[in-house]
A = this chain, B = another copy of it.
Amino acid sequence: MASPCIICVAITGSLPRKAMNPAVPISVSEQVESTHEAFEAGAAICHAHVRNEDETPSSDPEKFARLKDGIEQHCPGMIVQFSTGGRSGAGKDRGGMLSLRPDMASLSVGSNNFPTRVYENPPDLIDWLAAEMRAHDIKPEVEAFDLSHILKAAEMHKAGAIAGTPYVQFVMGVKNAMPADRHVFDFYVQTVNRLFPGAPWCAAGIGREQATLNEWAIASGGHART
């Protein structure tokens, strides 16, 4: 029997601005409202970034706390996942909100290129973020921007650095990282099935690759990201 499809809504992200799309929720109350709509439409996980007043990415724990409270009030049972991605802060600032004990948090386990720069995840920062997640009983979502990140998750799990079976998200379509390539996607699925038999996984297509990745993921037994 296939397990029901989990839909993960990524509200706001770290890049889009109101000038590009006036519908992008920026303030915490706009974010809660938008999450509530997605929750009523069936989304089970909310992947969250927060923003400053000027719309720049933030890693302010106070904003994350208000967002978590709002989602818990308006969307009972929804899984809250905080982003610890590098666009919203540098070094340990990226994990300053983990003591709020969200259900999940994103975890990068390697470095790669982004469109115009290096997405830096030094080994000691990865170890620290993973330790914070263990200490606060947070389930990591491993962001696989490249194949080695899946193998690294397996190594961390084996070493006890990731508790429980790793939940991996394939991120495809980021310029200068992994493109949305069907052969690679199929090998990602095979690799997860080999290393973490039976484990759920999800996929995120960036920009115009979103629909493609959702289609591939749902057809291959993975979870979708909107």
Contact = CB atoms under 8 A, between A and B. Distances in A.
Interface size class on chain A is: 20 to 34
Interface in A52-87: none
A118 interface: yes
A148 B177 contact: yes
Given A151-B181, A176-B152, A191-B183, A113 B111 contact: yes
Contacts of A181: 151
Contacts of A208: none
Given A112-B110, A151-B184, A179-B155, A121 B123 contact: no
Interface in A103-121: 110-113, 115-121
Contacts of A151: 178-179, 181, 184
B146 A176 contact: no
A115 B122 CA distance: 9
B184 A147 contact: yes
Interface string A175-219: 011110101100100110010000000000000000000000000
A58 B40 CA distance: 60
A148 B149 CA distance: 11
Contacts of A184: 147, 151, 191
Contacts of A178: 147-148, 151
A147 B191 CA distance: 13
B115 A113 contact: no
Given A118-B122, A184-B191, 16 more contacts: A110-B113, A111-B111, A111-B112, A113-B121, A113-B123, A116-B124, A118-B118, A118-B121, A120-B120, A123-B176, A146-B147, A146-B148, A147-B147, A147-B148, A183-B190, A183-B194
17 contacts: A110-B113, A110-B146, A111-B119, A112-B148, A113-B122, A116-B123, A117-B122, A117-B123, A118-B120, A118-B122, A123-B176, A146-B147, A146-B148, A151-B181, A152-B176, A183-B190, A187-B187
